[in-house]
Each structure stands twice: as structure tokens, then as C-alpha cells.
Structure 1
Amino acid sequence: MIENRIAIAPGDIVLTDDGTAVVLRIDRAGLEMRDVRGQVSWVEWPDLKTVAPIDGSQTDEAPTLRSFAETWNRLDEDARAEALFRLAVVQEVATGYRHGHPELRLPGEPSELFDPALGSSLTVRCRRMAERLNHEMETGRRSSMSAPVSVRTVHVWFTLWRANGLIGLVDGRRAKRIEVFSTLPLAWREAAREVVAAFDGDVSTVNLREVRRRVKVRLRDAGQDLQVPDRAASRYVSHLMSTRGATTRAQRSNKLRGVSGTASFPAMVPGQVVAIDVTRSDVMVWCPVREGACSVEIISAMDLATRVILALRVVPMSADAHDASMLMYDVMRPFSQLVEGTDVSDWAWAGAPRQIEFYADADDAEPDCSGVEVTCPRTCRNLRVAPGLQGEHMVPGVRPAAVRADHGSIFVSQVFRELLARFGIDLPLSRTRRPIDNGILERYHETLQRGLQQLPGYKGRNPSQRGRVVGLDGSHRDEPLLTAPELEQFLRRWIVLDYHRTPHTGLHLPGAERVDLRPIDLFDALLKVTGRLHVPQRPDLIYDFLPVRWGTVGQSGVELSGLVYDSPVLDGLRAVPVGTFRAEDRAMPFFYDPHDVTRVWIRHPESERIMAVPWRKAHMTQAPMTETLVQHVRGAVRLRQGHPRLSSTVAEDEIIAELGSLLEGVAPKSWRKRVSAARMRHETARHDHTEAEAAMTVADMVTEHPAPSPTQPRGDDTFSIWADSWPFEASDREA
């Protein structure tokens, strides 16, 4: 075997087991070199061998001692790079020169901070080196470091180098793994990888002993009889199986690595990736139905590029797919919150129904701190507020390019997937058993404790933080528990006035001195770079987020899920020809809210307006009519003896009677939990639809009396948002 030839001249670097050495003199029999400690030694030519470049400035292979090269080459590239980085650190601490020799000085060397001739102690030099390394890491000039370095760490590196040379600076875990696996024959390792590769999630997983048996069978069939160390073989098989996945679900997830939608990438602009997740609230709320405390969940959506919370809802245990759909509805709506004196308004949909006008703004104008100014309404968040809390605070709305979620049933459901597909949104799910894939939002759940701990009924993050009596302390001893709507209102205020305005340690400008930014400030800065965001904005936008049910309208109305709906708005649609709405029958689409089944909605084919069609017997009960509760009641009614088969009309009457008794508190205790969750969801749905109806009413009024053109002066350069941002046709427009 012919080894590579290298050219060596006086002044070149040779890598030794003690670090770098500089060549002093060359002879036909060998060379003379001096190491970092100042010791001069003679090396004959047969004792030299080539290795990979020592640093990035070299393009050819570098010379080293043959005895050291065998150990050095068994290390992987990351281990060698890490050891050489540490070597440069300790050499500069020891000599004042990064390469350890005056002949190889870099500009500015020897540094006054590390020159031992100036009398600084080793501890002082280690402290200065740790400070410089951490500063370079924070400013982005040192990308090879993943964590801060302490003075103790630098001192340990120096001690290990002085005792064991360069090999002492190699991470012991890396060296141990390489040393063990290198004792296994290459053919045996390839056979083991082929056996383990078969476990892709479709094949049942076996134990490690069976994997080793299959490796032996594969080698025997190939005519190879290899003897391998038992311990090394076991560790290698365990390493391969742990990488593959311990369960079939994990194996299927790992098989998707590298596929579009599963690979991680940094979010660079607002709306590029929105993370959503559900967490149990650590604050108990008061339930009027159960007349006691109960637990709820908090579902949130965060823009990963800016850490802005785009939407938040408090939902009953446990969140369903429609809760996730309504959260996406909130994500696409820009909100505003007004602070006037000590009054703080709830989140209002910007432009509907309480705020109609925005104020024009000149980009080059100086901010007027005497009042509130809002820039172009076609951007979601570009607002200047007066100093302090007073003024209007905007919560932006975005149209996500992708939504990051875990494998929760509500996120992988067909309802949620179809909703995202309708808006062209990708759904890159986190890997199974890897919560760190959505780690930014998981960390936000810990930050949320700062707000929850201010409330009565706080029960601690986990059982180790829980007291004997939940929610009673010196500050909240006499305060009643909040209801679920009140908790949601408080959290929304806390997000806008606290979280969005608090410097975030995860947000800073790359390549510059570390300055923590506030989430809302970074959103403003990135919005200036990316330009306006395109978000669908219509007063009837909520109905794009509802599932569609198809039903045939007859003389008595339309029957959907066992309930009959009828209204005068269906006149003219009761006997439409086949193929009017779809080719195969006379059915027409209805928007259906699983959290409020007392009515459905249609988009009238003539006026293109959304119109409600109520349930015929909605006036006979005040119960929270949700789809889940109705199904439970219907199931209980049909199981009664003497009525094995009931018509839909009789079932409706029984449902009214059952729900009525439940509402009066006569029902068994087992039903109160269902009724409590149903009431919470029903009230939220009523609020959402009432807001949409108010917005559509205002839109109809503006249509009848058009607002002045934006080009016409009106007051202090104000213009109506309705004239430009809310079109009244079915197509989406940018906002």
C-alpha cells in the first residue's frame, strides 16, 4: 500500500500526542521539532504518517507521528474537531499563542491577557479565556460551542492536556464508543445494520438476543463464521435498535426522517410556522353546573419566528377537534385590546364589531406619544401606542404556511386535517415520544405559570408543589374561583400586557451583541422586512372553519343527525332539481357547529349571505345542545326497555325531556361533568356566532351606505376599514 506523500519545510506543524510541534530542521534521515513545552526531539521519517488537516486553513493532509495516528484516526470527525478546539484553548492559556509557538503567531499575539511572561496566574488566564469564549458564543463568532464554558472547565482542560496530552482532551464517551465498536469486524457490523433495518414499524419488534441470532444466521448463509466480542456485539446491537426506535410507532416516525413535512427548519418570517398545543390548566375554575371546582385545558397557538401568542382558548377537559379548528379561526383574525385608565377591554376582532376605523400613518413620520396611532389596516400588527400600558395593543393575525403539532387525536383527526388542507396549510407533526420537537411551545407552558400563579385556585405545576388545601394562601384566601370565561379573559390580558411586552431570552439579533427583544417588537421588525401578510378577512369567516353536512330540503325542512331544521329562508330550495348543488342528488351543503346543534347555516345561492336555519324544537329547551351531549342522551334513551326502536320524532321529545331534567339538577351526578363541558362549549360557540352576526350586520349597513373613499380626506386622515379590507363576496382577500 502506497501512503500519501507530504511536503514538510522548516516552520511547518506536526501533530503529536502532546499537541502541535513546529519543525526546526530537516535531514535526510528525519526531522527535528520542538513541542509546546519547549522540548526538542528527533523523529525519523518512517515514524511519520499523514492525517486529516489540523485546522481549516489547510487543504492537504497533515503530518503526525505514526503511533499517535492509529489512535487519532479511530475517532470520528466531531471528536477530533472538539479535541483540536480544546487544544487551541489550552495552548493559548499556556503560551499566549493559539498554535503554541512564536513562529506560528497570529495577528495580535502574544495576547496580553494570556502571556505568561506578564506574570498572570493560571487561574486568572483561565478566567479570561472562559469570558472570551462565552462572549464569542453569544455574539455568534464562536459557532463550535453549544453551551457556555466555566472557569473550572478551562482549568480541567489544561490539567488533562498537561497529564495526557492531546488524547486527554478527547471526550471520554466518544473515545469509549469508537474503541468498542472498532473491535467488531466490518462484515459483522454491516450484517447487523441490515437486520435492524428491517424494523420499519410494519414488522413486530423483537428483543436484542433475537436480533443477534438473526445476525449469526445471515452471516452463516453468506458463508462467514465470525467470532466477535460478546459485550461489544451486544452494545452495538443495542445502539442500532435505540436509534431505530424501541416501539413500532417510534420506528414508523423515524422512518419519515428527511421526508418533507417532518424535517425541522428554522422559522424566519411571521406565519411561516405556527405551533399549537394543549396543556391542563393549573388553576381550578368554578363550574356553576357542578357547583364546585373543576379542571380545564388551555389550547394556544404561537408564531415560532417571533414567539407571539396568536390565539388562546380555555376549553373543558378534554379538547376536541372543533376546539382546535376554532383556535385556527382565531389565529387568522387580528385582535386588539384597549387600555383606558384602569379599564381593559377583552380581545376584540380588529374591525368587528366594536371597532370600525383605523388611522392612516406616514412611514417617515415621528411617533406621536400623545395618543394612539395605527398604520395601514392591511397589515396585521404595525401599531404604535403611547408610553406605558395606555392605548391600543394589537394581537396580529397570520395565515400559517405550516402548523406544528404533536400526535394528539385532535390534531391528527380527519376534521382538523381537512380544515388545514382547505387553506393550504401543511401539518408537520412532531416525532412520537419527542416533545422537544415542539419544545418552544412546551417551554411557553412553563412561562404561563407566571400568570396562573397570580390567580385563586392555583394548585401547583405538579404534585410535589401542591399543598394540603388548593388555592388558599395569604393573598387569595377570601377570593372566589374564576369561571372558565374569566380565566380566558385574564390570560388574554396577561399575554398582551405582560408576555408580549417582556424581553424574551430566545429572541435576539444574530451576529450582534446579545440584546433580548420583546415578542411584539420582533414581529414589528420582521413585518417591515417581509411586507404585509395575506390573511382572509370577512365578517362570515367563521363558517369556513365549520364542517359541512349535506341534507335534502323537504317540505318539513332538512334532517341532520336526527334533528329537523326549518326556516323560511329555505323557501325556494325545497324542491330543487337533481344536480343543483352536487351531481348525484338534490342535497345542499349546511354549515354545522358541533358545539351548537340548535341551528345550522347555509350560504344562500342568490344573495351569497350566510343565513341561520334553527332546530324546530330549539325553543323547548335551554340546555347546552352540543353534538356530544345529544349523542349521549340519544344513546341512553334508545337503551330503555320497551322502546328498542324509536323514531326520530319520539327521540327528539325524549331528548328535550332528558336535557331539561339535567338542566334542573335532577340528573345523576355522572351526567354533570358532561353537561358542564357542554355548557362551556355551547356558550363559547354562541359568543363566536354572535360576534360574526354583529359583523355581518355592520357590513350590510356599510353596504347600504358606502363609506367615503380612502383617498378622500376625513377627519385626521382616517378612513373606513370596511371600504377596503372587508369585501362582501365569497372569495378571500388580504388584510
Structure 2
Amino acid sequence: MRSVRLFDCLHYDGHAWQVVAQEGQQLALKNLQTNRIRRVGVAELLGDDSYLPDAPDRLPRLDSAAVLETLDPQTRERVVFLHRHVAEVLTGTSPASDGDDDDPDAAVGRPQYAVSHPLQDRISAKVAELAAAGTPVAFRSLERYITAYRADGIAGLVDGRRTRQASQTGRMDPALVSLLEHAIGGQTNLSTGTRSRLLMQVRLEATHLGLPMPSRATLYRALDNLARAKHPFGNATTRRTQANRPDRTWGQQSPSRPGELVEVDSTPLDLMVIYPNGSTGRADLTVALDIATRTPCSAILRPVATKSVDAAVLLARALTPLPMQPGWPASLSFSRSILPAGMIPGDDEVGARIAAKPVIVPESITIDRGKVYVGSTFLNACERLQISVTKAAPRTPTDKPHIERVFAAINSGFTQYLAGYVGPNVVNRGSSPQAEAYWTLADVQNLLDLWIVAVWQNKPHPGLRHPAMPKKDLSPNEAYAALATVAPTINVALDRDDYIGLLPVAYRSIQGYGINFEGLHYDSADLHPYRGVKSGLPLPAGGRWEIRYDPYRLQSIFVRDHTRGVWIEAEWSLAKRTLAPFSLDVLRAARTAVARRSDTVAGVDVVAEINRIQTGGAATTKERKAATRDSVNTPVVPAQTVVADPAATIEPTPSGVPTADPPQTRSPKRRAARRIDDEDEE
């Protein structure tokens, strides 16, 4: 509380002043150095931050005015009792708030407490009255109550023992408290133990330092009070998560337009899938999430740790609608043919849902410091698209809280309904989820893409509210429509050439048969003028031609004709025999499976193996176990040196799913290298 009186000395606006006169709400201030007079309003003076009186403020403080509201009922009743009698001794009348308004003596006052009597006589009369009423108060005690009441008001009548703040560790030696805190902090990365283990460590250190030890019960009470928020004796994962939280208030990011802030991260999906080699395992999910609308711009699944090329492909898919991505319509048609009827709707319904999902151009992307994102491939792609990149703090998932929550939502809304769900941790895991694995990566990828456009984009989100409708949760599509009207963005969609430009790059020569890439031969009529011709490109091309490939759809590659500035699509010579577009992982698994059981590699065998993998992988548990064992013990054989038995064929099982012949025990014969897509001559 601030006050100012006539003739007060004070500091204001950087100078020393004295109040010499007052006219209404105007004060006349005299500068003590220059004797200049300045007129200032009372409210202006008291409200200025530079105002500082020379003498302490003589007005009482009001911070304890609500002290009665903080007391327990018994203590409050005692304070009200003392207040009534102390006030009567000092003023001659009882306080009106005591409820004695109907008592005439309460308003007029009793004669023995009239202020004309000496204070000592009034105190003596009150002591005698209280003793007669059965609530005695000693003379000295009543004097102390009166003194405290004059100094602090009603707060001075409160028993200090009732308001004393208790320490977390009581009267324990501060050095011993420091040992406890250090021991609790050291549990973050240790396996969870018991309290007795930690206290034994503290006792040994305290004995070495010569510190006095309190009782066992005191130690346990202090330990419980110090360890409440750190979970040193709970789940180790919870403890490490708590340790990663920043020691400050969490910031809030509230982008006002689509694409203003995008978060990118990867996590293992809580689902066992069938790998291309027939084994089972979890997949890595990489998502780019727009924060303003909670729209997943794109999502990619991989059977192993995500590579840097995947992050660049993630950008390409984020800026390209699904139907415009090369190979996606064919992949969707294949998934519709092998999945249960009705699981994937018709083309018209799928097209309508995809058209409703917005294509959002990122302005800023927040990433972690993993090698996936800090590599040159991803950063160069962002630079080319003029996207600013922000790196999150090390080991701080709270810098990307929105996408971490989306991962949990995908598991609860999508993954848990699929066969092979493993749960969020081993405590919630079934007995053998790997035996329940049913879906291939391509199937899960297509189902996830459709779930995002059909379910997620139309589901109300509690974090999406519009100021005009503060009580209504909006869906991501509705949030985009609302924000796009007040903050219009540039509508961009990559065309075919732009999409190809973001794909991984490689260099190959153009031979008479076409281009050899990953052991497959790709050809196109547009390559005729360049067969056997060097590109003229410097290193790292070294005269070879630049090609781009989609690691998830290898039925075609794209050759850059830099002389005309166009991309030539070269198709695999046996692409028409495959059931659907296949990934690089599927190709390598098929080639390895053929090489394992044969001494020659024919293209027809690779095609059959790719088709078998795409229709479900290994058909029996025995084959899956063999695939898992062989994937660990058997190295991948390069296509240029693998030879196989041309008589080896793939026989269909009664269920219609082709299976591979058992692995051969004999050593492969060394023969000349042969292109794997040559068919056996009839």
C-alpha cells in the first residue's frame, strides 16, 4: 500500500522532492536540488513505478486480512473469541460481526470497559469476567494479545503453531538432506530398486563424513517427501520421462495458419508385421504433422530404422496428393483385391475422402537431432523448398509434444484393431503377438493412408477450437477450412516432375538392354538415342546418367534427360508380371530367397518370389522361423554374383499362396554372372 502526506520527502522521476502544498488532487513538489516546483496528480504519483518514499510507509499491510479463511474451524473459533474480548477492552464495545447486534450492551458498551477507565483496570475486569465464565485467560497473556492485536490486527491473535510451515525434512542436518537428494537424482538411469537400497547408500556416505543419523522412521519420511515427483522407486520409463521434463514452464505454440509449424518425428509402431523375408517384426512410423490443423501431411512405414532418404520422400508425399503419386493407384487396387471385401471402399469414395484432405505446404519444421533429419538429403530438400528447420533440444520430447500425442492416438485409434498388436509396453503385451502377425508393410501403409483421410481428418479434436465457436471441437478438415478463410495460404501440389525431383538419386550407364539398377533391367523406347552414350556429367556421375527411384515403388525408375530437360520413365522388363508395385526391401528379400535355394537367378523366379511376398510372405510358422534365423545368419548376396538353378520353381500351396522350396544344402556353383530378369529359354 502506498501513501503520501504533506511535507513528505520522496524520490520520483529520478529526483528528490518534498510535498509543499496540495490543492484537491494536485500536489506541489519542490525539487530539493533546484528548488523548482512541479505539480503532479496524486493518482499519477502513487501509480508511477519510480515513486519511492524516504520513510517507510506508515499504513498497515493488508496481506493478512483474510487470515480467518485459512484456519481450521477450531483455531478460527479461538481467534474469534479472543478478537471479541480484546476489541472490547480496547474500544469499549464488542465487534458487530460477532452476531451480537440484538444485544443492546454490544452497541452501547458496558461501563467497566469504558475508554475513560485506565487500560490496566479494563484488563483486570476482562480477566475476572473470563474466569467467571469458565474460559480463563491470564493477565499477562491478555496483555500480549492486546499488543499483538495493535501491531498486526486479527492475525496477531492466531497461535503461531497453527500457521507454522513444516519443512520437508524437519530438523535433519542439511548435509544429510543433500546426500538424500543426490542419491534420489542418481536413480534416473538405474534399474528400479527399493528404498532400503537407497538409504543404505546414504548411511554409508553419512558415516564416512561423520554426519549424525536420525531414526529409521525419520529417514523414510524425509525420503517420501523428497521423492514424490521423481518416481525413483516406480517404473524406470516413467522416471526417465520425468527427468527429461524442462525445469521451467512449458511454452505454448499456437500457429494461426496451416503450415506455419510442422513437427516431424519417428517411432516404432506397436504392431508386428510380416517383413519381406517372411520374418515378423515392428515397423518404424515417420509422420509430418501440421500443428494448426492437426493434419498428418504424410506418413511412411519402414521395416527397419528410418533412413535419411525416407525423410526426403516424406516431404515429397506431403506435397503430392495420393492419386498423383506414381504407383499408388496400382498399390491400392492390389490391396483391395487381397483384403477382405469392403475393407477398402470403392475408387469414388476413396477419391472423395482424399480430395477433402488438404495439401499443406510447411513453412517451418521442428525435428529432433537424429541422423535421419540432420543429414544432407533432408536438409537440402527443405532448403530447396524454402522451409526453415528448427532442431529440438537433445533428449527433450516435450519440444514436439503434439506429434508425440498423435503417435499415441494412432496406436489407440488404428493399430490396436489390427492383428499382431503388441501394446504400448511388455506389461500389456499378449503371449505371442508375432504369431498373430497377418499384415504386410504395404497393406498397413495403404490402410494407414486411408484411415487418415477417412477417420482422423473427420474426427473432432479437443485441441482445435475456433474463437467464434469456443465450445465446439473441430475436425482437422474443419479447422483447415476455418483457418484458410482468415489466413489464406498458397495452394501447392507437386506435379510429376517435382515429385521425382525429391526422390533419392543414383547414377547408372545406359546399355543396349537398358539400365541395370539393383539387379533389374529397366528400359524405355525414349532411351534409344542414349544407349552406349555417356551423359557428359562430371563427378560424381562420371559420365553416367542421373536416375531417380522411389524406394517403395520400384516398378519404374526415372532417367533425367538433361539435354531436353525431361524425365524418362523406364519400366522394369518384367513389371507387368508383378501383382503390385514393390519396394526395395521386397526386391532384396526376394532375390535373397531365390539365391538361397538355387544356383542361378532367373527373372521369372524373382517375379514369383515378389508376388509370394506381396500376398503374405512365409505361409507357415516353420518358414517364418527359418526366415528369421536366415536373416540373421545369412548375408545378402549381390545380384551380380548370385547364380541359381533354372529348374527351381515356386509351387503354389493348396491355399493359393506360393511358397518357396526348402533351402538347398549344397554349395552354389560358380558360373558367369547373368542378368536376373532373363527368362529360361523354352
TM-score (norm 2): 0.49
Larger Rg: 2
TM-score, normalization by structure 1: 0.46
